Structure 1
Protein backbone atom coordinates (compact mmCIF):
# COMPACT_ATOMS: atom_id res chain seq x y z
CA UNK A 1 0.00 0.00 0.00
CA UNK A 2 1.51 3.32 -1.09
CA UNK A 3 0.74 6.96 -0.47
CA UNK A 4 2.50 9.55 -2.60
CA UNK A 5 4.23 12.57 -1.12
CA UNK A 6 6.00 15.66 -2.47
CA UNK A 7 9.73 15.59 -3.17
CA UNK A 8 11.45 19.00 -3.11
CA UNK A 9 14.95 19.83 -4.28
CA UNK A 10 16.72 16.55 -3.51
CA UNK A 11 18.37 13.79 -5.48
CA UNK A 12 18.56 10.31 -3.94
CA UNK A 13 20.70 7.23 -4.34
CA UNK A 14 19.30 4.07 -2.78
CA UNK A 15 17.71 5.00 0.51
CA UNK A 16 20.24 7.70 1.35
CA UNK A 17 19.30 11.27 0.58
CA UNK A 18 22.18 13.65 -0.08
CA UNK A 19 21.92 17.36 0.40
CA UNK A 20 24.16 20.17 -0.75
CA UNK A 21 23.75 23.25 1.39
CA UNK A 22 21.72 25.98 -0.25
CA UNK A 23 24.04 28.63 1.09
CA UNK A 24 27.66 28.72 2.15
CA UNK A 25 26.85 30.85 5.17
CA UNK A 26 24.67 29.98 8.12
CA UNK A 27 21.48 31.90 8.84
CA UNK A 28 21.87 34.18 11.83
CA UNK A 29 20.29 32.79 14.98
CA UNK A 30 17.92 34.89 17.00
CA UNK A 31 19.63 35.33 20.33
CA UNK A 32 17.87 33.94 23.37
CA UNK A 33 16.41 36.51 25.73
CA UNK A 34 15.82 33.97 28.49
CA UNK A 35 17.77 33.58 31.69
CA UNK A 36 18.96 29.97 31.67
CA UNK A 37 19.44 27.94 34.83
CA UNK A 38 22.98 27.84 36.16
CA UNK A 39 24.66 24.89 34.46
CA UNK A 40 26.07 22.15 36.65
CA UNK A 41 29.87 21.85 36.55
CA UNK A 42 29.85 18.40 34.96
CA UNK A 43 27.55 19.69 32.22
CA UNK A 44 29.77 22.59 31.17
CA UNK A 45 33.22 21.04 31.40
CA UNK A 46 33.86 18.30 28.86
CA UNK A 47 36.52 15.68 29.59
CA UNK A 48 39.93 16.59 28.09
CA UNK A 49 40.27 15.83 24.38
CA UNK A 50 36.75 14.36 24.33
CA UNK A 51 34.70 17.20 22.88
CA UNK A 52 34.35 17.40 19.07
CA UNK A 53 33.99 20.76 17.32
CA UNK A 54 30.44 22.10 17.88
CA UNK A 55 28.18 22.36 14.83
CA UNK A 56 25.27 24.55 13.77
CA UNK A 57 22.81 24.68 10.85
CA UNK A 58 24.32 25.85 7.54
CA UNK A 59 22.06 27.13 4.79
CA UNK A 60 18.31 26.71 4.57
CA UNK A 61 16.31 23.52 5.23
CA UNK A 62 14.70 21.73 2.30
CA UNK A 63 11.64 19.49 2.26
CA UNK A 64 12.30 15.76 1.95
CA UNK A 65 8.67 14.63 2.22
CA UNK A 66 5.27 16.20 2.86
CA UNK A 67 1.72 15.09 3.54
CA UNK A 68 2.42 13.63 6.97
CA UNK A 69 -0.40 13.61 9.52
CA UNK A 70 0.73 14.38 13.10
CA UNK A 71 4.14 12.67 12.79
CA UNK A 72 5.87 11.90 16.07
CA UNK A 73 9.11 9.94 15.70
CA UNK A 74 11.79 9.67 12.99
CA UNK A 75 13.73 6.39 13.08
CA UNK A 76 16.80 6.06 10.85
CA UNK A 77 17.90 2.46 10.33
CA UNK A 78 21.48 1.22 9.80
CA UNK A 79 20.73 0.28 6.17
CA UNK A 80 19.88 3.92 5.37
CA UNK A 81 16.12 3.43 5.46
CA UNK A 82 13.89 5.71 7.52
CA UNK A 83 10.64 4.98 9.36
CA UNK A 84 8.26 7.68 10.64
CA UNK A 85 5.40 7.15 13.12
CA UNK A 86 2.08 9.02 13.00
CA UNK A 87 0.38 9.53 16.34
CA UNK A 88 -3.30 9.39 15.41
CA UNK A 89 -3.30 7.00 12.44
CA UNK A 90 -1.02 4.45 14.20
CA UNK A 91 0.84 4.12 10.89
CA UNK A 92 4.57 3.59 10.50
CA UNK A 93 5.75 4.90 7.11
CA UNK A 94 8.86 4.04 5.15
CA UNK A 95 10.52 6.93 3.32
CA UNK A 96 11.25 6.02 -0.31
CA UNK A 97 14.07 7.49 -2.45
CA UNK A 98 11.68 9.65 -4.49
CA UNK A 99 10.30 11.34 -1.37
CA UNK A 100 7.07 9.34 -1.21
CA UNK A 101 6.01 7.36 1.85
CA UNK A 102 4.66 3.83 1.91
CA UNK A 103 2.83 2.25 4.83
CA UNK A 104 5.16 -0.31 6.39
CA UNK A 105 2.73 -1.21 9.22
CA UNK A 106 -0.18 -0.08 11.34
CA UNK A 107 0.40 -0.83 15.01
CA UNK A 108 -2.42 -2.77 16.64
CA UNK A 109 -4.22 -1.68 19.83
CA UNK A 110 -3.25 2.00 19.57
CA UNK A 111 -5.95 4.23 21.09
CA UNK A 112 -5.25 7.89 20.21
CA UNK A 113 -6.28 10.21 23.02
CA UNK A 114 -5.27 13.86 22.98
CA UNK A 115 -1.47 13.79 23.16
CA UNK A 116 -1.50 9.99 23.30
CA UNK A 117 -1.34 7.55 20.40
CA UNK A 118 1.55 6.02 18.47
CA UNK A 119 4.61 7.85 19.78
CA UNK A 120 8.29 6.86 19.89
CA UNK A 121 10.19 4.32 17.79
CA UNK A 122 13.51 2.56 18.45
CA UNK A 123 15.57 -0.10 16.70
CA UNK A 124 17.53 -3.11 17.98
CA UNK A 125 19.89 -4.83 15.53
CA UNK A 126 19.72 -8.62 15.24
CA UNK A 127 21.98 -10.82 17.36
CA UNK A 128 21.78 -13.65 14.82
CA UNK A 129 19.69 -14.19 11.68
CA UNK A 130 16.99 -11.65 10.88
CA UNK A 131 16.70 -7.93 10.34
CA UNK A 132 16.34 -6.78 13.95
CA UNK A 133 13.43 -5.34 15.89
CA UNK A 134 11.46 -2.10 15.75
CA UNK A 135 10.13 -0.96 19.13
CA UNK A 136 7.06 1.27 19.51
CA UNK A 137 5.72 3.21 22.51
CA UNK A 138 1.98 3.85 22.31
CA UNK A 139 -1.20 4.62 24.18
CA UNK A 140 -3.58 1.66 24.51
CA UNK A 141 -7.07 1.54 26.04
CA UNK A 142 -5.91 1.76 29.66
CA UNK A 143 -2.18 2.46 29.69
CA UNK A 144 0.93 3.37 27.72
CA UNK A 145 2.99 0.38 26.63
CA UNK A 146 6.00 -0.72 24.62
CA UNK A 147 5.99 -3.51 22.04
CA UNK A 148 8.57 -4.80 19.60
CA UNK A 149 8.02 -6.10 16.09
CA UNK A 150 10.46 -7.99 13.85
CA UNK A 151 11.60 -5.92 10.90
CA UNK A 152 10.88 -7.73 7.64
CA UNK A 153 11.59 -7.14 3.97
CA UNK A 154 14.25 -5.00 2.36
CA UNK A 155 14.63 -1.29 1.63
CA UNK A 156 11.66 -0.07 -0.35
CA UNK A 157 9.47 -2.89 0.93
CA UNK A 158 9.95 -2.95 4.69
CA UNK A 159 7.30 -4.44 6.94
CA UNK A 160 6.81 -5.31 10.61
CA UNK A 161 5.80 -8.68 12.02
CA UNK A 162 3.54 -9.55 14.93
CA UNK A 163 4.12 -7.43 18.05
CA UNK A 164 5.59 -8.83 21.26
CA UNK A 165 4.84 -7.04 24.52
CA UNK A 166 7.87 -5.50 26.24
CA UNK A 167 6.21 -3.38 28.96
CA UNK A 168 2.69 -2.44 30.02
CA UNK A 169 1.30 -0.35 32.87
CA UNK A 170 2.81 3.06 32.15
CA UNK A 171 0.15 5.61 33.24
CA UNK A 172 -1.74 7.17 30.31
CA UNK A 173 -3.99 10.19 29.91
CA UNK A 174 -4.96 12.82 27.36
CA UNK A 175 -1.67 14.57 28.08
CA UNK A 176 1.76 14.04 29.66
CA UNK A 177 2.42 10.63 28.13
CA UNK A 178 6.16 10.99 27.54
CA UNK A 179 6.75 8.51 24.75
CA UNK A 180 10.36 8.70 23.57
CA UNK A 181 12.32 5.42 23.49
CA UNK A 182 15.95 4.71 22.57
CA UNK A 183 18.69 2.18 23.20
CA UNK A 184 21.59 3.62 25.14
CA UNK A 185 25.30 2.93 24.66
CA UNK A 186 24.96 0.33 27.44
CA UNK A 187 22.56 -1.71 25.31
CA UNK A 188 19.58 -1.05 27.59
CA UNK A 189 16.24 0.41 26.44
CA UNK A 190 15.28 3.80 27.91
CA UNK A 191 11.78 5.29 27.85
CA UNK A 192 10.39 8.66 28.92
CA UNK A 193 7.14 8.43 30.87
CA UNK A 194 5.03 11.49 31.71
CA UNK A 195 3.04 11.92 34.91
CA UNK A 196 -0.22 11.36 32.94
CA UNK A 197 -1.70 14.54 34.40
CA UNK A 198 -1.28 13.32 38.00
CA UNK A 199 1.72 15.18 39.43
CA UNK A 200 1.91 12.85 42.44
CA UNK A 201 3.13 10.07 40.13
CA UNK A 202 6.43 11.86 39.59
CA UNK A 203 7.64 11.53 43.21
CA UNK A 204 6.06 8.09 43.76
CA UNK A 205 8.77 5.46 43.20
CA UNK A 206 6.04 2.84 43.01
CA UNK A 207 4.60 4.45 39.87
CA UNK A 208 6.05 4.29 36.35
CA UNK A 209 4.67 7.77 35.63
CA UNK A 210 6.86 10.90 35.72
CA UNK A 211 10.01 8.86 35.20
CA UNK A 212 12.76 7.89 32.84
CA UNK A 213 12.65 4.09 32.70
CA UNK A 214 15.50 1.68 31.92
CA UNK A 215 14.99 -1.93 30.91
CA UNK A 216 16.49 -4.80 28.96
CA UNK A 217 15.44 -5.42 25.38
CA UNK A 218 12.64 -7.72 26.62
CA UNK A 219 11.45 -5.46 29.44
CA UNK A 220 13.31 -7.00 32.38
CA UNK A 221 14.91 -4.95 35.17
CA UNK A 222 18.68 -4.50 34.73
CA UNK A 223 20.62 -5.61 37.79
CA UNK A 224 22.30 -2.19 38.18
CA UNK A 225 19.14 -0.04 38.13
CA UNK A 226 19.24 2.35 41.13
CA UNK A 227 16.03 1.24 42.91
CA UNK A 228 15.82 -2.40 41.85
CA UNK A 229 12.88 -1.44 39.62
CA UNK A 230 12.49 -0.06 36.09
CA UNK A 231 12.85 3.50 37.46
CA UNK A 232 16.10 5.18 36.39
CA UNK A 233 15.30 8.79 37.36
CA UNK A 234 12.19 10.49 38.73
CA UNK A 235 10.56 13.82 39.49
CA UNK A 236 9.74 14.42 35.81
CA UNK A 237 6.58 16.10 34.52
CA UNK A 238 6.63 15.16 30.83
CA UNK A 239 10.08 14.21 29.51
CA UNK A 240 10.02 14.11 25.71
CA UNK A 241 13.50 13.68 24.24
CA UNK A 242 16.53 11.59 25.20
CA UNK A 243 20.01 11.32 23.66
CA UNK A 244 23.59 10.48 24.66
CA UNK A 245 26.75 12.47 24.04
CA UNK A 246 30.13 11.03 23.05
CA UNK A 247 31.10 10.40 26.67
CA UNK A 248 27.93 8.39 27.36
CA UNK A 249 26.07 11.05 29.35
CA UNK A 250 22.27 10.94 29.06
CA UNK A 251 20.39 14.16 28.30
CA UNK A 252 16.62 14.71 28.37
CA UNK A 253 14.26 17.51 27.36
CA UNK A 254 11.14 18.13 29.43
CA UNK A 255 7.88 20.08 29.26
CA UNK A 256 7.30 22.40 32.20
CA UNK A 257 3.88 23.59 33.35
CA UNK A 258 3.48 27.36 33.30
CA UNK A 259 6.96 28.74 33.83
CA UNK A 260 10.00 26.72 32.74
CA UNK A 261 10.81 24.03 30.19
CA UNK A 262 13.99 22.11 30.90
CA UNK A 263 17.11 20.46 29.52
CA UNK A 264 18.41 17.96 32.06
CA UNK A 265 21.57 15.92 32.46
CA UNK A 266 20.29 12.61 33.81
CA UNK A 267 21.92 10.70 36.67
CA UNK A 268 20.90 7.23 37.81
CA UNK A 269 18.55 7.62 40.79
CA UNK A 270 18.31 11.39 40.35
CA UNK A 271 15.26 13.37 41.50
CA UNK A 272 14.45 16.24 39.10
CA UNK A 273 11.96 17.94 41.37
CA UNK A 274 8.50 17.86 39.81
CA UNK A 275 5.99 18.80 41.24
CA UNK A 276 7.90 20.33 44.16
CA UNK A 277 9.87 22.59 41.85
CA UNK A 278 9.62 23.68 38.21
CA UNK A 279 12.89 24.71 36.65
CA UNK A 280 15.86 25.52 38.86
CA UNK A 281 15.04 25.36 42.56
CA UNK A 282 18.61 25.47 43.83
CA UNK A 283 17.99 23.12 46.75
CA UNK A 284 18.74 19.50 47.56
CA UNK A 285 17.69 16.79 46.96
CA UNK A 286 16.44 18.05 43.61
CA UNK A 287 18.71 18.27 40.56
CA UNK A 288 18.48 21.55 38.68
CA UNK A 289 18.20 21.67 34.88
CA UNK A 290 21.27 22.54 32.84
CA UNK A 291 19.20 25.03 30.84
CA UNK A 292 15.64 26.32 31.10
CA UNK A 293 13.33 28.40 28.91
CA UNK A 294 9.91 30.04 29.32
CA UNK A 295 7.26 27.60 28.15
CA UNK A 296 6.09 29.87 25.30
CA UNK A 297 9.60 29.74 23.80
CA UNK A 298 10.20 26.01 23.92
CA UNK A 299 7.93 23.03 24.75
CA UNK A 300 10.90 20.87 23.71
CA UNK A 301 10.10 17.50 22.20
CA UNK A 302 12.68 15.53 20.19
CA UNK A 303 16.37 15.80 21.09
CA UNK A 304 19.39 14.97 18.91
CA UNK A 305 23.11 15.21 19.64
CA UNK A 306 25.54 15.81 16.78
CA UNK A 307 29.24 16.40 17.58
CA UNK A 308 28.19 16.84 21.22
CA UNK A 309 25.97 19.74 20.16
CA UNK A 310 22.40 19.37 21.39
CA UNK A 311 19.44 20.19 19.13
CA UNK A 312 15.96 20.41 20.70
CA UNK A 313 12.82 20.59 18.56
CA UNK A 314 10.37 23.18 19.96
CA UNK A 315 6.61 22.79 19.64
CA UNK A 316 4.96 25.83 21.20
CA UNK A 317 8.16 27.82 20.67
CA UNK A 318 8.26 26.91 16.95
CA UNK A 319 12.03 26.80 16.77
CA UNK A 320 15.12 24.63 17.07
CA UNK A 321 17.20 25.21 20.17
CA UNK A 322 20.95 24.58 19.86
CA UNK A 323 23.02 24.05 23.01
CA UNK A 324 26.77 23.61 23.32
CA UNK A 325 27.11 22.25 26.88
CA UNK A 326 30.91 22.61 26.90
CA UNK A 327 30.64 26.41 26.62
CA UNK A 328 27.07 27.10 27.72
CA UNK A 329 26.27 28.67 24.32
CA UNK A 330 22.52 28.64 23.56
CA UNK A 331 21.01 29.73 20.21
CA UNK A 332 17.58 29.32 18.62
CA UNK A 333 17.12 28.67 14.91
CA UNK A 334 14.27 28.68 12.35
CA UNK A 335 12.12 30.73 14.73
CA UNK A 336 8.50 30.62 13.46
CA UNK A 337 9.80 29.51 10.05
CA UNK A 338 8.29 26.02 9.93
CA UNK A 339 5.81 26.06 12.80
CA UNK A 340 5.75 23.45 15.55
CA UNK A 341 8.72 21.07 15.46
CA UNK A 342 8.21 17.59 16.94
CA UNK A 343 11.32 15.46 16.37
CA UNK A 344 14.91 15.91 15.28
CA UNK A 345 17.54 13.30 14.41
CA UNK A 346 21.00 13.08 12.90
CA UNK A 347 20.65 12.63 9.15
CA UNK A 348 23.05 11.31 6.49
CA UNK A 349 26.18 13.07 5.25
CA UNK A 350 26.43 15.74 7.93
CA UNK A 351 22.79 16.75 8.01
CA UNK A 352 20.03 17.20 10.55
CA UNK A 353 16.48 15.98 9.91
CA UNK A 354 13.42 17.39 11.65
CA UNK A 355 9.67 17.03 11.29
CA UNK A 356 6.91 19.59 11.76
CA UNK A 357 3.77 18.98 13.80
CA UNK A 358 1.38 21.69 12.61
CA UNK A 359 -1.65 19.52 11.81
CA UNK A 360 -2.18 18.75 15.48
CA UNK A 361 -5.18 21.10 15.56
CA UNK A 362 -2.90 24.01 16.40
CA UNK A 363 -1.29 25.07 13.13
CA UNK A 364 -2.34 26.68 9.88
CA UNK A 365 -1.43 24.01 7.27
CA UNK A 366 -4.18 21.74 6.01
CA UNK A 367 -4.51 18.38 7.76
CA UNK A 368 -2.07 15.84 6.40
CA UNK A 369 0.58 18.36 5.38
CA UNK A 370 3.29 18.12 7.99
CA UNK A 371 6.75 17.83 6.51
CA UNK A 372 10.13 16.21 6.96
CA UNK A 373 13.02 18.66 6.50
CA UNK A 374 16.78 18.35 6.06
CA UNK A 375 19.47 20.94 6.76
CA UNK A 376 23.24 20.75 6.56
CA UNK A 377 25.20 21.19 9.80
CA UNK A 378 28.83 22.11 10.20
CA UNK A 379 31.35 24.03 12.34
Structure 2
Protein backbone atom coordinates (compact mmCIF):
# COMPACT_ATOMS: atom_id res chain seq x y z
CA UNK A 1 0.00 0.00 0.00
CA UNK A 2 1.30 3.47 -0.88
CA UNK A 3 1.30 6.13 1.86
CA UNK A 4 1.46 9.84 1.09
CA UNK A 5 3.50 10.80 4.15
CA UNK A 6 3.73 14.60 3.60
CA UNK A 7 -0.04 14.86 3.23
CA UNK A 8 -0.64 12.71 6.31
CA UNK A 9 1.76 14.87 8.31
CA UNK A 10 -0.02 18.02 7.18
CA UNK A 11 -3.38 16.65 8.26
CA UNK A 12 -2.02 15.63 11.65
CA UNK A 13 -0.43 19.02 12.30
CA UNK A 14 -3.65 20.83 11.39
CA UNK A 15 -5.75 19.00 13.98
CA UNK A 16 -4.39 20.91 17.03
CA UNK A 17 -5.09 24.21 15.24
CA UNK A 18 -8.69 23.21 14.59
CA UNK A 19 -9.13 22.21 18.21
CA UNK A 20 -7.86 25.62 19.35
CA UNK A 21 -10.50 27.40 17.20
CA UNK A 22 -13.49 25.66 18.80
CA UNK A 23 -15.37 28.32 20.83
CA UNK A 24 -15.88 27.62 24.52
CA UNK A 25 -19.27 26.48 25.73
CA UNK A 26 -21.71 29.34 26.26
CA UNK A 27 -22.36 30.41 29.81
CA UNK A 28 -25.95 29.51 30.78
CA UNK A 29 -28.14 32.43 31.75
CA UNK A 30 -31.73 32.86 32.84
CA UNK A 31 -34.12 35.43 31.42
CA UNK A 32 -37.28 36.43 33.25
CA UNK A 33 -40.16 38.58 32.15
CA UNK A 34 -43.66 39.66 33.03
CA UNK A 35 -46.96 39.51 31.20
CA UNK A 36 -49.72 41.86 32.26
CA UNK A 37 -53.14 40.28 31.80
CA UNK A 38 -56.19 42.56 31.76
CA UNK A 39 -58.97 41.95 34.22
CA UNK A 40 -62.05 40.38 32.66
CA UNK A 41 -65.10 42.51 33.41
CA UNK A 42 -68.72 41.39 33.06
CA UNK A 43 -70.78 42.99 30.30
CA UNK A 44 -73.29 45.03 32.27
CA UNK A 45 -75.96 47.41 31.01
CA UNK A 46 -74.03 50.33 32.50
CA UNK A 47 -70.82 49.42 30.69
CA UNK A 48 -72.65 48.98 27.38
CA UNK A 49 -74.33 52.36 27.85
CA UNK A 50 -70.93 53.96 28.47
CA UNK A 51 -69.59 52.91 25.05
CA UNK A 52 -69.37 55.78 22.58
CA UNK A 53 -70.33 55.37 18.92
CA UNK A 54 -70.54 57.82 15.98
CA UNK A 55 -73.61 59.98 15.49
CA UNK A 56 -76.51 58.03 14.04
CA UNK A 57 -75.44 54.73 15.62
CA UNK A 58 -76.65 52.94 18.73
CA UNK A 59 -75.17 49.98 20.57
CA UNK A 60 -76.98 47.28 22.52
CA UNK A 61 -76.18 43.79 23.74
CA UNK A 62 -77.45 41.44 21.04
CA UNK A 63 -76.29 38.00 22.26
CA UNK A 64 -74.32 36.48 25.10
CA UNK A 65 -72.93 33.11 26.14
CA UNK A 66 -70.97 32.60 22.92
CA UNK A 67 -67.82 31.60 24.82
CA UNK A 68 -65.03 32.83 22.50
CA UNK A 69 -66.61 34.52 19.46
CA UNK A 70 -64.03 35.45 16.83
CA UNK A 71 -65.28 36.38 13.34
CA UNK A 72 -68.81 37.12 12.09
CA UNK A 73 -70.75 37.07 8.84
CA UNK A 74 -74.26 38.56 8.56
CA UNK A 75 -76.80 37.08 6.15
CA UNK A 76 -79.33 39.22 4.24
CA UNK A 77 -82.12 38.04 6.58
CA UNK A 78 -80.18 39.19 9.65
CA UNK A 79 -78.84 35.79 10.72
CA UNK A 80 -75.34 36.03 12.16
CA UNK A 81 -72.73 33.28 11.81
CA UNK A 82 -69.99 33.34 14.44
CA UNK A 83 -66.76 31.35 14.50
CA UNK A 84 -64.93 30.03 17.54
CA UNK A 85 -61.33 29.36 16.51
CA UNK A 86 -60.50 27.32 19.64
CA UNK A 87 -63.36 24.84 19.26
CA UNK A 88 -63.52 25.11 15.47
CA UNK A 89 -67.27 25.74 15.57
CA UNK A 90 -69.69 27.94 13.64
CA UNK A 91 -72.76 29.13 15.56
CA UNK A 92 -75.95 30.51 14.05
CA UNK A 93 -77.22 33.51 16.05
CA UNK A 94 -80.77 34.59 15.20
CA UNK A 95 -83.25 37.17 16.46
CA UNK A 96 -86.37 35.13 15.73
CA UNK A 97 -88.97 37.60 17.09
CA UNK A 98 -87.23 40.75 15.83
CA UNK A 99 -86.97 42.38 19.24
CA UNK A 100 -83.30 43.28 18.87
CA UNK A 101 -82.00 40.39 20.97
CA UNK A 102 -80.95 36.95 19.76
CA UNK A 103 -82.91 33.99 21.11
CA UNK A 104 -81.46 31.27 18.86
CA UNK A 105 -77.85 30.14 19.16
CA UNK A 106 -77.23 26.86 17.39
CA UNK A 107 -74.01 25.18 16.30
CA UNK A 108 -74.18 24.53 12.55
CA UNK A 109 -70.65 23.37 11.68
CA UNK A 110 -67.42 22.15 13.23
CA UNK A 111 -64.02 21.58 11.65
CA UNK A 112 -60.58 21.92 13.25
CA UNK A 113 -59.36 25.55 13.50
CA UNK A 114 -62.24 27.26 11.67
CA UNK A 115 -61.80 31.02 11.73
CA UNK A 116 -62.72 33.10 8.67
CA UNK A 117 -66.30 33.48 7.38
CA UNK A 118 -67.77 35.02 4.23
CA UNK A 119 -71.31 34.86 2.79
CA UNK A 120 -72.24 35.09 -0.89
CA UNK A 121 -75.21 33.87 -2.96
CA UNK A 122 -76.60 31.51 -0.34
CA UNK A 123 -73.25 29.95 0.51
CA UNK A 124 -70.99 30.31 3.55
CA UNK A 125 -67.24 30.14 2.94
CA UNK A 126 -65.08 28.95 5.84
CA UNK A 127 -61.32 29.04 6.33
CA UNK A 128 -59.08 26.99 8.61
CA UNK A 129 -55.28 26.90 8.76
CA UNK A 130 -54.68 25.06 5.49
CA UNK A 131 -58.24 24.56 4.25
CA UNK A 132 -61.02 26.56 2.63
CA UNK A 133 -64.56 25.14 2.62
CA UNK A 134 -67.90 26.22 1.17
CA UNK A 135 -71.33 25.11 2.43
CA UNK A 136 -74.88 25.79 1.29
CA UNK A 137 -77.01 27.84 3.68
CA UNK A 138 -80.20 25.86 4.31
CA UNK A 139 -83.68 27.42 4.69
CA UNK A 140 -83.57 26.99 8.48
CA UNK A 141 -80.19 28.73 8.71
CA UNK A 142 -78.22 25.54 9.07
CA UNK A 143 -75.43 24.50 6.73
CA UNK A 144 -75.10 21.67 4.27
CA UNK A 145 -72.02 19.47 4.31
CA UNK A 146 -68.95 21.70 3.80
CA UNK A 147 -67.19 21.09 0.49
CA UNK A 148 -63.40 21.32 0.50
CA UNK A 149 -62.02 23.91 -1.95
CA UNK A 150 -58.40 23.90 -0.76
CA UNK A 151 -56.23 21.91 1.61
CA UNK A 152 -52.81 23.26 0.62
CA UNK A 153 -52.59 26.72 2.19
CA UNK A 154 -49.21 27.49 3.83
CA UNK A 155 -48.38 25.98 7.20
CA UNK A 156 -49.42 28.11 10.14
CA UNK A 157 -46.33 28.89 12.15
CA UNK A 158 -46.91 31.80 14.51
CA UNK A 159 -49.92 33.28 12.67
CA UNK A 160 -52.49 30.56 12.08
CA UNK A 161 -55.77 32.42 11.57
CA UNK A 162 -57.00 32.83 7.99
CA UNK A 163 -59.60 35.53 7.32
CA UNK A 164 -62.05 35.60 4.38
CA UNK A 165 -63.97 38.45 2.75
CA UNK A 166 -65.59 39.17 -0.59
CA UNK A 167 -64.32 42.24 -2.39
CA UNK A 168 -66.32 44.75 -4.45
CA UNK A 169 -65.10 42.89 -7.55
CA UNK A 170 -66.95 39.75 -6.45
CA UNK A 171 -63.70 37.89 -5.79
CA UNK A 172 -62.95 36.02 -2.57
CA UNK A 173 -59.96 37.34 -0.61
CA UNK A 174 -58.01 35.36 1.98
CA UNK A 175 -55.31 36.63 4.34
CA UNK A 176 -52.36 34.34 5.13
CA UNK A 177 -50.05 35.44 7.95
CA UNK A 178 -46.29 35.01 8.18
CA UNK A 179 -44.82 31.99 9.94
CA UNK A 180 -42.99 34.27 12.42
CA UNK A 181 -42.42 37.96 13.05
CA UNK A 182 -39.32 38.33 10.84
CA UNK A 183 -38.92 35.42 8.43
CA UNK A 184 -37.46 34.62 5.05
CA UNK A 185 -40.52 32.67 3.98
CA UNK A 186 -40.09 29.39 2.13
CA UNK A 187 -43.67 29.41 0.83
CA UNK A 188 -44.45 32.22 -1.62
CA UNK A 189 -48.02 32.43 -0.26
CA UNK A 190 -46.99 33.11 3.35
CA UNK A 191 -47.42 36.70 4.57
CA UNK A 192 -49.77 37.52 1.69
CA UNK A 193 -53.28 38.37 0.59
CA UNK A 194 -54.74 35.83 -1.83
CA UNK A 195 -57.54 36.33 -4.34
CA UNK A 196 -59.66 33.58 -5.94
CA UNK A 197 -62.91 32.91 -7.75
CA UNK A 198 -65.94 31.66 -5.83
CA UNK A 199 -65.30 28.10 -7.02
CA UNK A 200 -61.71 28.25 -5.73
CA UNK A 201 -60.11 28.63 -9.16
CA UNK A 202 -57.73 31.41 -10.18
CA UNK A 203 -55.91 31.61 -6.84
CA UNK A 204 -53.18 34.24 -6.89
CA UNK A 205 -51.21 36.58 -4.64
CA UNK A 206 -52.34 40.23 -4.74
CA UNK A 207 -50.23 41.61 -1.86
CA UNK A 208 -47.06 40.50 -0.07
CA UNK A 209 -45.13 41.34 3.07
CA UNK A 210 -48.17 41.28 5.36
CA UNK A 211 -47.25 39.98 8.79
CA UNK A 212 -50.78 39.05 9.87
CA UNK A 213 -53.74 40.88 8.33
CA UNK A 214 -56.32 39.58 10.76
CA UNK A 215 -59.14 41.70 9.31
CA UNK A 216 -59.57 43.84 6.21
CA UNK A 217 -62.15 45.76 4.19
CA UNK A 218 -62.67 48.17 1.29
CA UNK A 219 -63.33 51.90 1.35
CA UNK A 220 -66.93 52.38 0.17
CA UNK A 221 -66.02 55.15 -2.29
CA UNK A 222 -62.42 54.62 -3.40
CA UNK A 223 -62.56 50.80 -3.14
CA UNK A 224 -59.06 50.90 -1.61
CA UNK A 225 -58.26 47.81 0.44
CA UNK A 226 -57.37 48.42 4.08
CA UNK A 227 -56.22 45.87 6.64
CA UNK A 228 -54.98 45.58 10.20
Matched, 1:179 2:162: yes
2:148 to 162, 165, 168: 165
Alignment of 1:189-338 (within 5 A): 189-197=172-180, 199-201=183-185, 207-221=188-202, 230-246=204-220, 247-253=222-228
Kept in 2, the 8 Å contact 1:178–1:239? The answer is no
Unmatched tracts of structure 1, length 5 or more: 1-6, 10-20, 28-54, 111-116, 126-131, 222-228, 254-379
Match of 2:62, SS? Answer: strand
Aligned equivalents of 2:137 and 2:211: distance in 1? Answer: 33
Deviation at 1:146, TM superposition (A): 0.8
| TM-score of the pair, normalised by structure 1 | 0.42
1:121 corresponds to: 117
Of the three residues 133, 137, 140, the one matched with 2:123 is 133
Find the aligned partners of 1:74 and 1:217 in 2 and give their Cα distance: 19
| Pair 1:145 & 2:119 matched | no
2:108 corresponds to: 105
Determine helix, strand or coil for the equivalent of 1:233.
strand
Looking at structure 1, the residues matched to 184 and 104 of structure 2 have their Cα atoms a distance apart, in angstroms, of: 41
Flag the structure with higher helix content.
2
Paired with 1:59 and 1:168, the residues of 2 have a C-alpha distance of 41
Q: Is the 8 A contact 1:189 1:215 kept in 2?
A: yes
Distance 2:200 2:174 in 1: 11
State which of 54, 64, 72 in structure 1 corresponds to 2:62.
Answer: 64
C-alpha distance in 2 between matches for 1:96 and 1:74 = 13
TM-score (norm 2): 0.68
Q: Is the 8 A contact 1:169 1:208 kept in 2?
A: no
Rg bigger for which structure? 2
Instruction: For 2:93 and 2:175, locate their aligned partners in 1 and report how far apart those are by CA, in whole Å.
Output: 26
| 1:219–1:63 CA distance, 2 compared to 1 (3 A) | same
Contact 1:22 1:59 in 2 (8 A): no
Cα deviation, residue 61, structure 1: 4.0
Q: Closer, same or farther in 2 for the Cα pair 1:151/1:59, shift >3 Å?
A: closer
Within a 5 Å distance, the mapping from 1:58-97 to structure 2 comes to 61-97=59-95
1:77 Cα offset (Å): 0.8
Higher relative contact order (CA 8 A, sep 6+): 1
Q: In the superposition, relative to structure 1, how do residues 60 and 22 fare at CA in structure 2: closer, same or farther (>3 Å)?
A: farther
Show structure 2 runs of 5+ residues with no match: 1-42, 96-100
Give yes or no for contact 2:115–2:162 (8 Å, CA) kept in 1.
yes
How far apart are the structure 2 equivalents of 1:101 and 1:196? 38
SS in 2 for 1:239: coil
How many Å separate the matches in 1 of 2:88 and 2:158?
Answer: 17
Q: SS at the partner of 1:169?
A: coil
